[in-house]
Structure 1
């Protein structure tokens, strides 16, 4: 034990701010109180210490700290009674000081050496708060606690960070002051405090001004001594530092730097370095962004040694299959022969290297590297110090992974919009290379074009039979209704108001009724709309405003032309409801059906709305490079295409009873056996074919919907039939086998036709197969009936479209 006096504020001149005396009177009173209640053997020890203090009468009075050196044996007895018996004073940071800590007069050797060795210049956190202010806070904290049971001014602990000169690591200590042996007296009557007002001063950080005014220290006296203890809290402080990095959401370089520094302090070994390697993936394959997440020694060493990425990835993939802790205390030639990655580490100056797997919710999230340029043995003691940090590092890695995925999704939506899973993997790779090139800088690099080569195309079209004719018929019928009601309104107005202009408009109206039967173009429709907008509607509005007796006639007409409910739109509404019903049901069928198709082999499926529904399918090796492609999958999808067309024809026929405007569909397939190349057009956000020969395929499929049979004025596509257009007779042979099979299975009638087709613009040599769909007579078609609310919703949507 040490009785040398330590001046706490040795380098600063501090005015004492309260009357204070060092004495052992509070301890004496404490011992007397314990002797009245203590029945164990401790009572003898208390009695012995009490008698010794009373015998040394000087200890009962106020005493100078420097004079206590003569009473070392008594102080050692006090130490014994105030500390656990089994504590070793060489490891215990413990001391006695004046009531307001200014002088330490008795301490353990460990405490004395700590204070002597910790040069303030090595202090980590520089506290700019004046010593006088900190002392005032300490004094008022005790006063408010003792007299007012108020304890929120300041904590009685101080966290002290200090750089260890030997290890160069930061160590953290918790300094606590125990004042239970400090008596406080007040001269006079204790003032009352307004704690609501005091609370406001705490918030404004000027509570001391308030307290000095309402609770002046000149009326207080402190008597006794304080106990100071110091605890090494480096481990907990390091863990808190890692947690703070997570809370602050700095997941990349800045957070990694803080975490690595905390891990060094946690280890207590200045020779150790740490690396962080989250497992970022693109298409379930590991990628490493060494520019942004460069805190991995292995990644940086591999890049510096120009190690092929595939070799590196294979090593990590192999590790992921069997993740476990790896410890290499000293890298030697034999180990390098077995594990090539150790060579690049040794070239980077690494002598020992260890890897610890890091998990998040039981899933491997990355690894923690522990390495050094010295030989280091990772023991249980070090692992136990690192263990509390592992869950937090796992959380950090997970945040990192989520940020990376969010960045990928952001570029995906910006450059390509949402994509099908079957092709998204290739876009992910393009995005990854785009991010690497830009590396978080201004986006100066254009993203590469995504291309799939040697893809087999399939095209199908479900068209609504005579949709243009039906639409024109509905329009003419609606215009007849409109003009008929307009004629009635004008005649009613003529009976009530005598105006020459009424006859003129009525004449034009009758003329338009005659012309409606021969309405042939959108130009005629535009002229009629111009007549109504420019002449009729202003006339009706003025008549209604100036001649109130005409209001009923005018209002009746305007009710007729309301798109949502008016009779002048009834036919078009019914037609659009019918068309949407077919398109919705067909689209839903294709979506469900193609989802099952993807299970056999991934393919790209794109569906488009026209008057009916068209779709493109592309299948080939490049769309799923990890799954061997065989023509068997192409045959399977062609057979699916035929069977799905039959099911769609049956579905459409079953919907006729549900449609307010009965419509029929035709089913068309374009057969193309040669593989083509497709690429994604970033400007139009869709796939398109590449090359002159491939473009010919695109031209043909856009023109065959209206192709005629050679030497006949008959369209190839007909209701209740499936038509297949082709160039090559060999293609027809394959499909004829499918048709024969499907005829036996009850899909097709026995009426297969082989047809030659008329030449199209720029296209000749086309032929076709056509076969009738066999409907199920003994089994009622399963039809999804729309609910009244669904039909109402469709009608409102259509009316809105018509208004626009």
Structure 2
């Protein structure tokens, strides 16, 4: 035991309340016990009381420095307040002044901890120390005189870094205040609880109390008993639990914090942990390249560019026999039996284990335990991790669920028609179906048709001009390359093998080259493919397997025929990449503007992939019954549609210099001012129009994309222009006003055309507006 004055703060500062060390409250409690105790304890209590009287310590107040040499007295207090079998060398226990400012008697363990941690790290933290004193005193005052629990937590935690392991440790601080007496020095102020109630748990609540309840009114006597107990394991478990239930989903930070808590549980900084979720798609394991993963095996595989293969083999094999696997040391013999371990060994791992983590009898992932600095005592580690395993199972399952949700969100956004603006209708239909199923039985319950009445349609199309011509040209150029390469390869074979059939194949190659140099149709493309698949390629494959001297030239030929990177498909790949770039840019624009579009009034927006991008928009009261509809919303949407076409034209025009094959787009709008009805088709997972008149609108949309001007071969849709098709001028007047406005904004050119269109099957009287886009602005 150590008897000395140890101060929490190097600079004691002013005394915030009239307080002093006194044994009087303690002795009063002993005296009361002695008066009522009938056992042998009474003699012990009387003995202690006599000792205090002998040493003159039963008086009102004493200085801490005056009692540090009274070790026999202090040892009696220790014996009274602690169990007899307490191991003093490991027990963090101390006696301090009534207001926590100084320690005057403590165990050796506490003294060493005080010097190495509290004094070394917090002795100059004046602000924290001052606030702690105020909170401590006010908690006692409010409890005694107003029966209010303030500044009282279940426990106070002290965190520090273990100098031996470098890991965080946590101690619970219990303050026994039974031997502290608070007395009044004047009248007790009337305190309106309502005035301070909302301040009670504020960080700076004591500042409010200083004004309402000055501490000059109180006197504090006695001593406090402090006990520190190690709660590191419990705190680490709680930290993992809190991280899992936190709404702030930051995978990287989450994994880092969880693994740090696992290291704290292990109590050994040389032990490392990895978490590897098993993500499944259609029953097969998939690897998501995510920095948040903390799997050492995955990190090693990433360095070798073999992570997908290793991940799939690992998951498939492990799921068949999910049991703990321990490798105390990674020797050369073990890596020969388990080649995947060689990746770990090459990265300095000397000890490795993998544990299956189960959640409801499913395997959402594994826990890795490993070290670079020596063999791990896995039995000891597992015992300390026991309480954390269920939490890790929940964490890994959450990762799997989040992955599944991401897939579902993409499917919902990209492939289905269930958008937020109409989701409410599907929710109602699903609920009505469940109620009918419960009431009438599953056999008779039918789900209702989802429909919306009287909605205004807007249709737009962004088409890639002459994409078919560009594709035919790309096929022609690639075919010429392949024929030339095939002929050259056959000539090389002829040097080693004298076969008349070689000359015949070379002849066919040359004839095909002449034919496609003039013109190449769809039928020619099919016949040429048959020539390669049925004649040329099987002939060349024979020599690939039988003539080693031709390996090089034949490998070059077959490498050229690969769709992914062969030179015989280079122009088609360039074309596909160019088309994809345009469509991706248009789709990206559509995705970005949709939130803004929905803000004014909810509407249904659906895109279709063609050679370019087409879209339908429906807006009306039935889509948002809880929000009053007005024609201003449809007018706003029509203006947006026209302006968006200008922006899309500008985007695609800017791509001309950025794509391998320059492609232009045309922009088309179909004006239809009358509302229509739409219903959801479950078979196609999309909305379609209802009624004979409405179907006519749908048919027209499909026919106007290639319509020509009346009495001319000129197509209505042209690059660098926006075309708007309508039936009568009254429908077009509104758009003419918008065009005039956008011309004033210098977004459109002053070249508006009013055009009549050719007759389509069953349709006459179509007209159009056409106006140029001003790219300079």
TM-score interval for Structure 1 and Structure 2 normalised by the shorter chain = 0.5 to 0.7
Match of 2:755 in 1: none
Instruction: Please say if residues 97 and 104 of structure 1, whose CA atoms lie closer than 8 Å, have aligned partners that are also in contact.
Output: yes
Residues 149 and 247 of structure 1: is their aligned pair in 2 closer, same or farther, counting only changes over 3 Å?
same
User: What secondary structure does 1:106 align onto?
Assistant: strand
Deviation at 1:247, TM superposition (A): 2.6
User: What secondary structure does 1:76 align onto?
Assistant: helix
* 1:2 and 2:18 aligned: no
Match of 1:328 in 2: 327
Deviation at 1:306, TM superposition (A): 3.6
Instruction: Please say if residues 15 and 132 of structure 1, whose CA atoms lie closer than 8 Å, have aligned partners that are also in contact.
Output: no
User: What secondary structure does 1:50 align onto?
Assistant: helix
Instruction: Please say if residues 185 and 217 of structure 2, whose CA atoms lie closer than 8 Å, have aligned partners that are also in contact.
Output: yes
Match of 2:137 in 1: 139
Deviation at 1:78, TM superposition (A): 0.9
Deviations 1:637-663 (A, max 9, x none): xxxxxxxxxxxxxxxxxxxxxxxxxxx
Match of 1:743 in 2: none
1:169-568 matches, within 5 Å, as 169-202=167-200, 207-249=205-247, 250=249, 252-307=251-306, 309-417=308-416
Counterpart-to-counterpart distance in 2, 1:272 and 1:329? 12
Match of 2:451 in 1: none
Match of 1:155 in 2: 153
Deviations 1:127-185 (A, max 9, x none): 78443232111111111112222112343843221112221111111222211101111
Counterpart-to-counterpart distance in 2, 1:164 and 1:201? 36
Larger radius of gyration: 1
User: What secondary structure does 1:118 align onto?
Assistant: helix
Counterpart-to-counterpart distance in 2, 1:310 and 1:51? 82
Over the aligned positions, Cα root-mean-square deviation in angstroms equals: 3.5
User: What secondary structure does 1:17 align onto?
Assistant: coil
Segment drifting more, 178-187 vs 196-205: 196-205
Unaligned runs of 5+ in 2: 419-582, 588-673, 691-701, 703-777
Counterpart-to-counterpart distance in 2, 1:287 and 1:351? 28
Counterpart-to-counterpart distance in 2, 1:101 and 1:235? 27
Instruction: Please say if residues 8 and 119 of structure 2, whose CA atoms lie closer than 8 Å, have aligned partners that are also in contact.
Output: no
Instruction: Please say if residues 92 and 111 of structure 1, whose CA atoms lie closer than 8 Å, have aligned partners that are also in contact.
Output: yes
1:39-58 matches, within 5 Å, as 39-58=38-57
Residues 257 and 122 of structure 1: is their aligned pair in 2 closer, same or farther, counting only changes over 3 Å?
farther
Deviations 1:574-624 (A, max 9, x none): xxxxxx9xxx9xx99xx9xxxxxxxxxxxxx9999999xxxxxxxxxxxxx
Instruction: Please say if residues 349 and 371 of structure 2, whose CA atoms lie closer than 8 Å, have aligned partners that are also in contact.
Output: yes
Residues 203 and 20 of structure 1: is their aligned pair in 2 closer, same or farther, counting only changes over 3 Å?
closer
Counterpart-to-counterpart distance in 2, 1:238 and 1:95? 26
Counterpart-to-counterpart distance in 1, 2:82 and 2:199? 39
Deviations 1:240-293 (A, max 9, x none): 221222232325111001111111111110101111111111111112223344
Counterpart-to-counterpart distance in 1, 2:388 and 2:285? 24
Counterpart-to-counterpart distance in 2, 1:196 and 1:299? 58
User: What secondary structure does 2:14 align onto?
Assistant: coil
Instruction: Please say if residues 94 and 106 of structure 2, whose CA atoms lie closer than 8 Å, have aligned partners that are also in contact.
Output: yes
Residues 237 and 80 of structure 1: is their aligned pair in 2 closer, same or farther, counting only changes over 3 Å?
same
Instruction: Please say if residues 144 and 151 of structure 1, whose CA atoms lie closer than 8 Å, have aligned partners that are also in contact.
Output: yes
Instruction: Please say if residues 252 and 291 of structure 2, whose CA atoms lie closer than 8 Å, have aligned partners that are also in contact.
Output: yes
Counterpart pick for 2:162 among 161, 164, 168: 164
Residues 251 and 130 of structure 1: is their aligned pair in 2 closer, same or farther, counting only changes over 3 Å?
closer
Counterpart-to-counterpart distance in 1, 2:144 and 2:12? 29
Deviations 1:497-538 (A, max 9, x none): xxxxxxxxxxxxxxxxxxxxxxxxxxxxxxxxxxxx9xxxxx
Instruction: Please say if residues 156 and 176 of structure 1, whose CA atoms lie closer than 8 Å, have aligned partners that are also in contact.
Output: no
Deviation at 1:82, TM superposition (A): 0.1
Residues 162 and 206 of structure 1: is their aligned pair in 2 closer, same or farther, counting only changes over 3 Å?
closer
Instruction: Please say if residues 312 and 341 of structure 1, whose CA atoms lie closer than 8 Å, have aligned partners that are also in contact.
Output: no
Match of 2:77 in 1: 78
Counterpart-to-counterpart distance in 2, 1:17 and 1:135? 8
Residues 319 and 414 of structure 1: is their aligned pair in 2 closer, same or farther, counting only changes over 3 Å?
same
Instruction: Please say if residues 169 and 268 of structure 1, whose CA atoms lie closer than 8 Å, have aligned partners that are also in contact.
Output: yes
1:89-104 matches, within 5 Å, as 89-104=88-103
Deviations 1:51-93 (A, max 9, x none): 2112222343422212212210111111011011211011110
Match of 2:625 in 1: none
Counterpart-to-counterpart distance in 2, 1:70 and 1:606? 88
Deviations 1:96-146 (A, max 9, x none): 0111111100000110011111166667x9978443232111111111112
1:120-139 matches, within 5 Å, as 129-139=127-137
Instruction: Please say if residues 144 and 150 of structure 1, whose CA atoms lie closer than 8 Å, have aligned partners that are also in contact.
Output: yes
Structure 1 residue ranges (4+ consecutive) displaced by more than 6 angstroms after TM superposition? 125-128, 443-447, 605-611
Match of 1:646 in 2: none
User: What secondary structure does 1:94 align onto?
Assistant: strand
Counterpart-to-counterpart distance in 2, 1:105 and 1:156? 26
Counterpart-to-counterpart distance in 1, 2:124 and 2:5? 25
User: What secondary structure does 2:273 align onto?
Assistant: strand
Counterpart-to-counterpart distance in 2, 1:270 and 1:203? 37
1:684-763 matches, within 5 Å, as none
User: What secondary structure does 2:104 align onto?
Assistant: strand
Segment drifting more, 308-317 vs 391-400: 308-317
* 1:109 and 2:108 aligned: yes
User: What secondary structure does 1:160 align onto?
Assistant: strand
Instruction: Please say if residues 416 and 685 of structure 2, whose CA atoms lie closer than 8 Å, have aligned partners that are also in contact.
Output: no
User: What secondary structure does 1:229 align onto?
Assistant: strand
1:630-645 matches, within 5 Å, as none
Counterpart-to-counterpart distance in 2, 1:141 and 1:229? 19
Counterpart-to-counterpart distance in 2, 1:25 and 1:168? 44
Instruction: Please say if residues 271 and 376 of structure 2, whose CA atoms lie closer than 8 Å, have aligned partners that are also in contact.
Output: no
Deviation at 1:418, TM superposition (A): 8.1
Counterpart-to-counterpart distance in 1, 2:686 and 2:170? 65
Residues 17 and 122 of structure 1: is their aligned pair in 2 closer, same or farther, counting only changes over 3 Å?
closer
Residues 156 and 337 of structure 1: is their aligned pair in 2 closer, same or farther, counting only changes over 3 Å?
closer
Deviation at 1:312, TM superposition (A): 4.0
Instruction: Please say if residues 9 and 102 of structure 1, whose CA atoms lie closer than 8 Å, have aligned partners that are also in contact.
Output: yes
TM normalised by structure 2 equals 0.52
Instruction: Please say if residues 278 and 315 of structure 2, whose CA atoms lie closer than 8 Å, have aligned partners that are also in contact.
Output: no
